[in-house]
Amino acid sequence: MTGTNKNDKQLLLSSDNPITSVEEDTVGRLSMADSFIDSILNYDTSRGLVVGLMGPWGSGKSSFINLSRVCLKERLIDVIDFNPWFFSNTNQLAEYFFKELSSQLRLKGKNFEKIAGIVEKYSGLLSPIAILPGMGWWERLLKITGKFTKLRYDGVEKRRAEVTKALKKLNSPIVVIVDDIDRLSTTEIGEVFKLVRLTANFPNIIYLLAFDRQRVECALDESGVPGRAYIEKILQVMYDLPEMPKSVSRDQTFKELNKIMNDIPESAFDQDRWADVYFEIIEPNITTIRDVKRYALSANITINMLKSDVDIVDVLALEAIRIFQPSLYFKIKQSVNVLAERSGSVLDDDDKNQRMIDNLIAGDDEEYIKCVIRRIFPVARKYVDSTRYDYSYVNEWRRGGRVAHEDNLNTYLEHLPTEGLRIVKMANTAYDIMDDLTKFSKFVEDISPSDLEGFIQSLEAYEGEYKKEQVTPASIVLMNNIYRIPEKKHRSMFDITRLDIIAGRVVLRMLRSIKDGDERESVAKNILPQLESYSTQLDFIELIGHKEGLGHKLVSKDLAESLHSDLIKKVYSQRPIRFEKEWQLLRLYYIVASEKGDEYIPFKISKLSEGRKLLQNAYAETRSQPSGSRVVKITPELQWNALVKIIGSEKVLRTIVTKLKKKDGDTPLITLAEKYLDGWRPSYDNE
């Protein structure tokens, strides 16, 4: 599909109405209409003619009628539009009809004045008859004989004969078009067909009735009249408007979609997926020209709202489901958790999810719904055909705007960017500047701390696409911002993402993208001195090293051990300057103390910022849940033994706490430290 200009788009927005000119005939029905008119004009109309143009709602009956008008006009055939919607009371139908016929005859010129006058007088005679409710006008005529004189009745018959005689003098028939009969109420449909039945034998009058046969037959059945037999008795010619060929509906759909894709870059449209999605999900729902228009108009609104936030192919598929399969759409809205993947969703209840999918596909449309799952919700395929996708696909879906990821599906359903999508878009922007240390550093510094964790995690989605020139600057910036990531006070018991892991996962993947070992070591040695804190340097060395449970062996063992040893010496001899960036100061000092062994001389903590940071790093929470209870107990604690080992004694530690209390006041952290100084320990320490 390709884009078009804005004028085309404006045309589309008002194109759900029937066409009114030959120029608008995009499906090639003019020749069909021409042949249709030729056929009905070849019939003998000396006793009238009733033609039925039938087709389901949306099949283009009104457009076909309008094309037929063009053909009638070319043949100088007069047309009367008899619109039952215009009268306020069904009892006025007959009178209204003959007044319309009279008016149309007057428009033909002076030669038709006499005929028009006769028809008008006839309509006037019908007026008092029409006031009796609850019956057709001819039945009312029979009832009226008891209230009006026989002269009146004879007058009606006389005028009717005069009308018949006058209409016979016409050189060409008049076509009376009655459209949209199927949109009338059940009672009104019955009244229209009674009118036609009782006036159908007037000479040179051709009724052209357009309606949905199934709807009208049902309405007549409800009125106590056998619908099908009644229609077949009244209609002398029945023409079923042919269904639109699939090739035509396809061309029309593509044409309309092209008009709404102006602002969407071609790169955002997945041609590889489009064919399968169109033929399996969209096309089965489109059978009429109105379906095409309804679909395009609705998709236009949604695409304009979402822009490129959600994959366009997925949007077009879901729009077809929303418009034509509302029950399925509702089920999809109720099944987001099983249809779309969530980042880190490792605890899914497969039995529960299987039941949800079974409920989703239950019914007559099982194969269609399975196609929907295969094409736009692949994560759920494991419940229908045992196909499974690993976690690498989740990142791809999230970054590509696929509704297979929960953030993107919710964005489509809510028509508002979710928090997750906002972060992903931020990562998309950042990716393009990751090779520029200054620009990328400024970009990340401007991200609020509350967004940092999600932002860094989103960069994992680019695994396999990292460029060599991005590795060094991006690693430096991400590692230097670890300290800015807020520690979640109450992480889930299953959440294992420590601050260092969040950034380390991305840095690890970038370093792994460099396949040559010597080149990777060179990059690592270039990154290390540009890391701004000892805490971060220690984390980086452990990440690339060989330490069991921590290292990923990205450099040689000798290099890793040398870098580690140099850092320990440096920390011991030259303390940090900016303690606010030391996010693991306690662990850093503890490693120094442990590796120095008997040679270790306790650090002299002279700066309050250093003592405060040590206490903050020592803080932890233990969660416990008593048997038989849903209540989770949270116990705050301090890594007290590590503090004492680093500082040297509880006496020195008390001095530090006293100074901090004087500066900071009775904070919860100070209160907890004082409890430890007074001998309190968590209960399990005394067991």
CA pseudo-torsion sign 577, 578, 581, 587: positive
Q: Which residue type does 565 have?
A: S
pTM more than 0.75: no
652's tokens: 């020195």
- Structure tokens that stand for 468 in this block: 């060599």
In the sheet that holds 78-81, the strands lie side by side as: 78-81, 174-178, 205-211, 49-54, 237-240
How many Å apart are CA 425 and CA 242, to the nearest integer?
A: 48
For 501, the token pair is: 């892991």
pLDDT on residue 2: 46
How far apart CA 506 and CA 128 sit, in angstroms, is 88
- Residues contacting residue 643 through CB under 8 Å, at least 6 positions apart: 586, 614, 615, 618, 653
8 Å CB contact between 101 and 174: yes
pLDDT in tens, 161-180: 888 888 888 888 999 999 98
pLDDT, residue 463, reads: 87
Q: How many CB atoms lie within 10 A of CB 234?
A: 16
**Residues of the chain with confidence (pLDDT) below 50:** 2-14, 88, 90, 128-138, 140-153, 344, 346-347, 491-496, 685-687
Cα torsion 189, 192, 198, 201: sign: negative
pLDDT at 100: 76
What residue spans of 597-681 are helical by DSSP H? 608-618, 640-647, 650-664, 668-677
pLDDT of the residue at 626: 67
Mapping DSSP onto H, E and C, the string for 401-426 reads CCCCEHHHHHHHHHCCCCHHHHHHHH
Nearest to 129 by CA among 85, 183, 83, 91: 91
Pairing mode, strands 633-638 and 619-624: antiparallel
- Residue 390: the pLDDT is 79
User: 665: left (phi > 0), else alpha (psi -120 to 50), else beta?
Assistant: left
d(CA 251, CA 243): 15
